[in-house]
Amino acid sequence: MKEREQDNHSDFIRDIVKDDLASGRSQNIHTRFPPEPNGYLHIGHAKSICLNFGVAREFGGLCNLRFDDTNPVKEEDEYVRAIREDVKWLGFDWEDREYYASDNFDRLYDYAIQLIKEGKAYVDDLSADEIREHRGTLTDQGRESPFRDRSVAENLDLFERMNKGEFGDGEKVLRARIDMSSGNMNMRDPVMYRILHEDHHRSGDKWCIYPMYDWAHGQCDSIEGITHSLCTLEFEDHRPLYNWFIEQLNIHYPKQIEFARLNMSYTVLSKRRLVELVDKGHVSGWDDPRMPTIAGMRRRGYPPESIRNFCDRIGVAKRDSMVDIALLEFCVREVLNKTAPRVMAVLNPLKVVITNYPDGGSEELDAINNPEDESMGSRKVPFSKVLYIEKDDFMEDPPKKFFRLAPGREVRLRYAYFITCNEVIKDPVTGDILELHCTYDPATRGGDAPDGRKVKATLHWVSAEHSLDAEVRAYDHLFLKEDLAQKRSQRCIQSGHRGYW
């Protein structure tokens, strides 16, 4: 099993991991999946989950689940529970290694003190707007804050007082003292701590200063002993900053490797956008079956195996691309084809009367439960004089390529008989087709003609008298527009299950 998995997976990240093991740079492999608990997981996260847990498993290592909960305002326990459930459902196990960035708040505070003492961090009184303005642009250097050269003693005192709650939100921040002229904007004295008088979902009211994501992420990786920190491309420019922090603190170095995010047609993969759909009531919730969330896909009936297979197929690369949602649907059908029992159902019925079948007669025919899995056996399907077929399976005046039922044409009813359409009965006023009159060939019982004659189509059907009412939920894509990145529009959301408009 293990060998097969390794054979199946090959990409630039696995090559790096292999090299690091071979050269002795890494003794073991330790990865993590680090969601921010500010929304439900989507199929893009599934890519990251499969990669992080997959790499760990293939190379005999470990993968942690870490909640990146540095922002008290947007994070909730509901999301933590949903994320746990989704990762488990996808088939991955973090065992007892469930960590939170907030577990490290004390440690991060101590690290900050260490940097202040070494003159590598300072308290700044500039407002958020002023800091932005001082930061410069890609073409213009930044300007140093007038508070940049405060003494270590003053910085220590102010930072402690920030922590004690002596200042209001936004009055002061702690910044790293790096280089305001750096070509990399992330290195221009980034903010490490901000004041937020907000309760946190885990630490309660213990803190009123909170670490920025960029100050927390790398150190959390380091504290957990992560060897390979796999993240998406937008963090490439942050890597020098993460490395700078690790070097100044002289702590375990996690190697960051970036890969391309998953983008998919007809949907959005951004929690910010998805939360908007939920909050504004455009969908019924995070698990609305049209949502690209794991919870939505579960509710829609997607097997977890199909999502894992999809992630294997798309692979990991460095270049951004758009994956066709049809590939995901193919992966779902591939698994369901092997596992789902079949039944016949007619969604849009057209009545068919078998004129040469005895009035009031019926019989039972054998239908195979799954053509791809013999062990699933067969079932009896009732057949009688009046049947329903799908409206789309008949055309009065068919074009060349239409092989299904038409006047004068013979087709197979699956597991039943060949039938021939002799007459089309219409509403005299509207001209709508009301029913078809057909004859059946009793010699073709079970679906084959003893004389070897062939038909070009096999239709599904139900016996009108024996059929059961059913509620069928037919879902289409969440958006009508294929590439939402081109022009963002909320107007093309479907209104109902199928609502094309």
What amino acid positions are annotated as catalytic residues? 36, 261, 271
Which one, 233 or 434, has the nearer CB to ligand ATP? 233
Q: Toward Mg ion, which CB reaches closer, 48 or 439?
A: 48
Q: Is 258 in the site for ligand ATP (CB under 6 A)?
A: no
Distance of CA 131 to the CA centre of its chain: 36
Report the nearest approach of Mg ion to the CB of residue 36 (Å).
Answer: 5
Is residue 261 at the binding interface for ligand ATP, with CB under 6 A as the rule?
yes
Helix, strand, coil shares of the chain, percent, nearest 5, are 35, 20, 45
- Give the separation between CA 148 and CA 123, rounded to whole angstroms: 8
Residue closer to ligand ATP (CB basis): 101 or 116: 101
Residue count at the site for ligand ATP (CB under 6 A)? 16
The CB-based long-range contact list for 307-311 (8 Å cut-off, 24+ gap) reads: 307/43, 307/46, 307/90, 307/331, 308/46, 308/50, 308/90, 308/91, 309/334, 309/335, 310/43, 310/46, 311/46, 311/47, 311/50, 311/51
State the binding string over 228-247 for ligand ATP (x if CB under 6 A, else -).
Answer: ---xx---------------
Alpha-carbon torsion (178, 181, 186, 190), positive or negative: positive
| Residue whose CB is less far from Mg ion, 36 or 224 | 36
Residues 6 or more apart whose Cβ sits within 8 Å of residue 175:
121, 122, 123, 124, 131, 145, 189, 190, 191, 192
- Pick from 17, 31, 35, 56 the residue near ligand ATP by CB under 6 A: 35
Residue 270 as a binder of ligand ATP (CB under 6 A): the answer is yes
Considering the complex, state which of residue 36 and residue 124 has its C-beta at the smaller distance from Mg ion: 36
Question: Which DSSP string corresponds to 143-194?
Answer: ---TTTT--HHHHHHHHHHHHHT-S-TTS-EEEE---TT-SSGGGSS-EEEE
Q: What is the largest distance, in Å, between two alpha-carbon atoms of the chain?
A: 102
Residues 74-133 that bind ligand ATP (CB under 6 A): none
Nearest to ligand ATP by Cβ — which residue? 44
Stretch that binds ligand ATP, among 40-48, 286-294, 408-416, 427-435 (CB under 6 A): 40-48
**254 scored as a contact of ligand ATP (CB under 6 A):** no
Q: Is residue 271 within the footprint of ligand ATP (CB under 6 A)?
A: yes
SS3 of residue 417 by DSSP: coil
Q: Under rule CB under 5 A, which residues in 21-40 are in contact with Mg ion?
A: 36
The reply on whether position 47 binds ligand ATP by CB under 6 A is yes
Which span (5-13, 69-77, 261-269, 318-326) binds ligand ATP, by CB under 6 A? 261-269
Q: Measure the CA–CA gap between 96 and 226, rounded to whole angstroms.
A: 16
Q: Nearest approach, Cβ of 325 to ligand ATP (angstroms)?
A: 14
* Contacts with ligand ATP, residue ranges (CB under 6 A): 34-36, 44-45, 47-48, 68, 231-232, 261-262, 269-272
Instruction: Tell me which residues touch Mg ion (CB under 5 A).
Output: 36
